Structure 1
Amino acid sequence: MAGDDHYIHPSTQMFDNIMMDPSWEFQHFTAMPPASLRTVSVDGPFLQILEQPKQRGFRFRYGCEGPSHGGLPGASSEKNRKTYPTVKISNYQGQARVVVQLVTALTQVPQLHAHSLVGKQCDKGICIADLQSKDSSISFPNLGILHVTKKNVAKTLEERMMEALRMGYNSGIAIHPEIDALQGEVRVPREVTDHQRSIISIAAANQAKDMDLSVVRLMFTAFLPDSDGGFSRRLEPVVSEPIYDSKAPNASNLKIVRMDRTAGCVTGGEEVYLLCDKVQKDDIQVRFYEEDDTGLTWEALGDFSPTDVHRQFAIVFKTPKYRDQKLQKPTSVFVQLKRKSDNETSEPKPFTYHPQIIGETGGSTLRS
């Protein structure tokens, strides 16, 4: 699509200008050094996230849709009080450069994500912003997330990896052991060899197969000026909480709207009709649990199968047995929805377990 080209294959003009502009001093922008050389100190400068991005409710847009209306909000953003992702360099006052990249959310080590950051100070899928001497924190109010088309995931990822190696952005992320080992200072763009291109092409194809396009994280890396004034002192990067595409199936907030019964016998096995906001039948659980002052004391799952989830808005399940079958008086527990893929939970609802009465025939009945 014509609109995609503008975002997915942007001009190199901005980066060429940066390299030629002495005020950016890009020649001193470095890759992340090995762990033994990292600038990490309890008393020294360190980067931290002051305002996390809002995890849900923000839509990733395709290139053909045009720019996003409003940037990615902060986690505490409200209608009349907007906030945005914000980072702070603690124990430091002075200039710094902050690089923001999209990385994967579900891999053990962050990998570059094929989606792109778009907006002010963004190009080739990343954002570069300078922190002024008078400030200790910097916000990112205009970040949009461009959704790569599925057919372009591997190609875009390959371009992203190539640029990361060329410019020294390959630190803190996993591409390939040979590429990851290249952690030297990058004063001018690297020349990428044919062998490295081949490695990156294979790595991009492999990572593209398992890439989840519905969720990303922001990775922030700060660089402080060295004695020559170039930004080469790298601080440990920080990675945000996951950001879920609002139109993805697992992005909706979980909510129990109503249950036809809120009490049952300790023996369990009683049928409950639960109305809820949209859920995915293969990715949802009904969790019963109990807590005291020390924490969780009991939990169990309602019994149902995917076929018991009706049109994504109702679940018919059977209550689990309570932990104490000899309960002498009613006890209150909680019930909530839980998404298996990300452990997201709904607000809990109360549920009361009642003791059982053993009748003369040996059958049990509910005792209130």
Structure 2
Amino acid sequence: MPPPNYDSRVPNILACAIASIAVSTFAVILRFWSRAVMASLVLWWDDWAILVTLIFSHAFLATNIWWTTVGLGKHSWMLSLDTIKPNAIANRVALVLYATTIMLIKISALLLYRRLFQVERKFNIALWSVGAVCVAWWIVTAIYPWSNCHPISKTVNPLEPGTCVQLTPWYLGSAFINAFLDLVVLVLPIPVIWRLKMSIRRRLLIMSIFVLGYCSAFLSFARFIIIVRDPDMLNASTPNADPSWDLVPLLYLSMLEAPFAIIALCGPSINQLVARVMQYKTLSSLFTTRPVDSSKGSGSGLSSRKRAHTSSSGFSKLDASKEHSHIVTSPVHGSLSTTAIAGNFDEGVDDWREQDIPMGTINVSHDISVARRKNEMV
């Protein structure tokens, strides 16, 4: 037996888990906040999927935190025999929760693609097919780790008499398939984006955004490489096995995979909040669904009730001295469209509604930032 070694990786595991829980939770809160502020609270399946993913990600991270109380992050020969069964239980529970979480990540990404590219029938068929494969693979990964021993009870009680099949080949195969499915999900929207009627530069830019938006795929590739380079880290039956210590570097990647994906998939919604603050130049715009008068404190825009009138539908009369000096976002469409109306009126009349509006003095300007058409993005 090796000499006593009281080194511990527990503080690093706890820091990784707690930081991942905090940051991913904040990202999802901002995503739903964006849905509430931008127009009305319109939620789709990808929003609910990311919320369920967050719940299972937290469960996986919490399991790892509990696992540290029974030996994870310490050298195996420093642990008492009483911790063997709890370690085995924590290991199997963590495997199931990890498999569920990464499956939900893929489903969330596929649902996001479905919302963005719903006009493509062939693409939708591909989404359903990939989603079905992901669910089928999840069923296998959730069941097999509990059935590699005979009797099955030996799976969570290694001291019980019986036999077990080594899981090292299983870990290698599952890591490869997980990385491959991530690659499929990553490249799935590229053909659709490439057929969009826009410049090559813009298409490449959009592709890069989607690649960065599913950055967790790179973590699964790194995880697979680590297992290939040192498969014995997962084998507890070798003479020099120290899985509770050697497993930790691989566990870091597993713990970060889901939070990274959650943050990335919430990125577009968070960007909408940032764009809203930049548009209105005030943080108060984050606490209302109504258009905000950005002229306060900036010296521009509408400065008096006599020169501005905002209706409940979200439209404002603009300053006649400045063409399109104030743009009001319709609360129905949020950030997707804006309408600016400018007209020339007599300054001597206080109430603009009482004036006769001559023909040709009203100018209407539409700014459409995103329009979804078949094989086209404007």
Instruction: Please tell me the TM-score bracket, short chain as reference.
Output: under 0.3
Q: Which has the higher helix share?
A: 2
TM-score if structure 1 supplies the norm length? 0.25
Q: Name the structure, 1 or 2, with higher relative contact order (CA <8 Å, separation 6+).
A: 2
> Which protein has the larger Cα radius of gyration, Structure 1 or Structure 2?
2
Q: Which has the higher strand share?
A: 1
TM-score if structure 2 supplies the norm length? 0.24
